[in-house]
A and B are shown apart, each in its own frame.
Chain A
Amino acid sequence: MTALVSLQTVTRDFGSLRAVDRVSFEVRKGEVLGFLGPNGAGKSTTMKMITGFLTPSAGSITVCGHDVVREGLRARREIGYLPEGAPAYGDMTPLAFLGFVAEVRGLAGSTRMAALERAIRLARIGEVVEQRIETLSKGFKRRVGLAQAILHDPPVLVLDEPTDGLDPNQKHEVRSLIQEMSAHKAIIISTHILEEVEAVCSRAIIIAHGRVLAEGHPEGEGWQFGEVYAEPGRLDAAFRRITQEAHPGASPLSGDATEVEDEAGDAA
């Protein structure tokens, strides 16, 4: 089966800073790719390039066979994207906001109604659709963003930290939703919550300082990242070993990555 998303030696510079450095990978239908990395590793930048918000400095990206730079509109039609922080127009209600996105995406009439109904049901935002988005809790805002991403039932989903700010129950719901949809889509999610990778991903890429450090997949009970094997529930140790080996001395974990450092076990 051909890949729905394909990155080839994608590089992005911001001035003299190289945010993403020759990243290549593919995602096929039915796969959920977890994009792991410390904050500032280049996860969001990579996602912004896949979704056409940023242009790669070098390399190429195709989505469903369309080059995201040369055939941007076509590529973007195939993608549902939840940007980091789930931005939405605060002065609108979720219903009006989703209606707007549907209209821009060219959904009309009964198709549009069905799409709205489905997205609202799947994202479980039925109770707040008439409230202004700016008055909603963080969890609901995130789910409005998610509803917007899955609205047109796209073959490719790019979700930047989809469970950030959700409580444990909501996290579980969103993960189940991702799993439900995964059979018919290529899904890329970024996260720094390692249990999420075990919960929903069929493959994972660890990225730090803009470079892919390791690619992993479930192996037996745990996960295999190249040479490193992670026991079930011990992904954090493998993650730290990989990211710190790459940059000895410097702690790649910063900011709110402390949740990863908690309960740190020895190297697996």
Chain B
Amino acid sequence: MTALIAIFRRELQAYFATPLAYVFSVVFLFVNGIFTFYVGQFFSRGQADLVSFFTFHPWLYLFFVPAVAMRLWAEERKSGTIELLLTLPVGIGAAVLGKFLAAWVFIGLALTGTLPLWLTVNWLGSPDNGVILAGYLGSFLMAGAYLAIGGCLSAITANQVIAFVVAVLVCFLFTVSGAPMVMSFFTGWAPQVLVDAIASFSFLTHFTGIVNGVIDLRDLIYFLSVMALWLFATAVIVDLKKAS
């Protein structure tokens, strides 16, 4: 446990030791603003809610989260520090979890940078704050799921660019499987069970539910199990690929 905390702290500090944290946060907030206000038409919708803000999160995370995740293991492998880390008295599970949690908290911090938006809608009108809170929870959980995927793919290669590109692709598949475009392609000819199954794999399906204020236990379990599964795969891959 102390090892896990030590790794968590080191990783989190590493984000702020380089310009990465600042560049990432600023760009993330900036792009979030553009989508919320221009694309999402925050003002002309005339509603005191953050739907136009959350709607774009799956698509923003598609690029931002793999950018954070790509360095998780690829960098350790490239610089050789993976040998140092894994010959310390640390279990692989603790190393994987410590690194993941640090990156997740980092993304969470970037997300809290959007809180002024929440204050703004409260100032402009009287939104349902429960729904907004649910939106933040869903957004954070979804980011964790993207991160677990990206981290796992980062463990496969020592090349961060490859890790990023493949992670974006896999995250994209996990996202679009519930998009209306894909769904309409299947509905009509495929059995409803199959359509539902494909949709149930999608981050969109589960995220939309939470953002609308319905915190369904199944959606929470979905995101948590996606994370658990990919983290487990990460541990296996790190263990197997130590040598290469």
Contacts and interface: CB of A to CB of B under 8 A. Distances in A.
B180 to A, nearest CB: 44
Interface in A62-91: 73-74, 76-77, 79, 81, 83-85, 87-91
B80 A104 contact: no
A105 B18 CA distance: 26
A89 B6 CA distance: 14
A24 B166 CA distance: 43
Given A89-B14, A92-B17, 8 more contacts: A73-B89, A74-B89, A76-B88, A77-B89, A79-B87, A83-B83, A100-B10, A108-B2
Given A91-B18, A106-B2, A81 B81 contact: no
A83 B80 CA distance: 9
B113 interface: no
27 contacts: A48-B243, A53-B83, A53-B243, A73-B89, A73-B90, A74-B89, A76-B87, A77-B89, A79-B87, A84-B80, A87-B80, A87-B81, A87-B83, A88-B84, A89-B14, A89-B79, A92-B13, A92-B17, A100-B6, A103-B2, A103-B5, A103-B9, A104-B3, A104-B6, A104-B7, A105-B89, A148-B84
Nearest to A54: B243
Given A54-B243, A89-B14, A92-B17, A83 B88 contact: no
Interface string A186-201: 0000000000000000
A73 B91 contact: yes
Contacts of B2: 103-104, 106, 108
A129 to B, nearest CB: 16
- Of residues B6, B13, B88, which shows the largest number of chain A Cβ atoms within 10 Å of its Cβ? B88
A61 to B, nearest CB: 13
Interface in A1-58: 14, 48, 51-54
Interface string B4-28: 0111011001100110000000000
Contacts, number: 73
Contacts of A96: 13
Interface of B: 2-3, 5-7, 9-10, 13-14, 17-18, 79-81, 83-84, 86-91, 242-243
A53 B95 CA distance: 14
Main secondary structure of the interface of B (DSSP, over half): helix
Contacts of B13: 92, 96
A181 to B, nearest CB: 19
A136 interface: no
Contacts of B83: 48, 53, 83, 87
A: contact size bracket: 20 to 34
Nearest to A91: B17
B177 to A, nearest CB: 37
Contacts of B17: 91-92
Contacts of A91: 14, 17-18
A87 B3 contact: no
B89 A104 contact: yes
Contacts of A73: 89-91
Contacts of B84: 81, 83, 87-88, 148
A101 interface: yes
A14 B241 CA distance: 12
A89 B75 CA distance: 10
Interface string A138-163: 00000000001000000000000000
B3 A53 contact: no
The 9 A-B pairs of least Cβ separation, nearest first, read A87-B80, A103-B6, A91-B17, A51-B87, A76-B89, A83-B83, A104-B6, A77-B89, A87-B81
A142 to B, nearest CB: 13
A76 B84 CA distance: 11
A89 B89 contact: no
A77 B205 CA distance: 47
Given A73-B91, A76-B87, A89 B81 contact: yes
A182 to B, nearest CB: 21
Contact of B79 (A14, A51, A87, A103): A87
Contacts of A83: 80, 83-84, 87
A79 B87 CA distance: 9
Given A87-B79, A91-B18, A53 B87 contact: yes
A88 B14 CA distance: 13
Nearest to B88: A104
Interface in A108-123: 108
A14 to B, nearest CB: 7
Contacts of B242: 53-54
A107 B9 CA distance: 16
Nearest to A90: B79
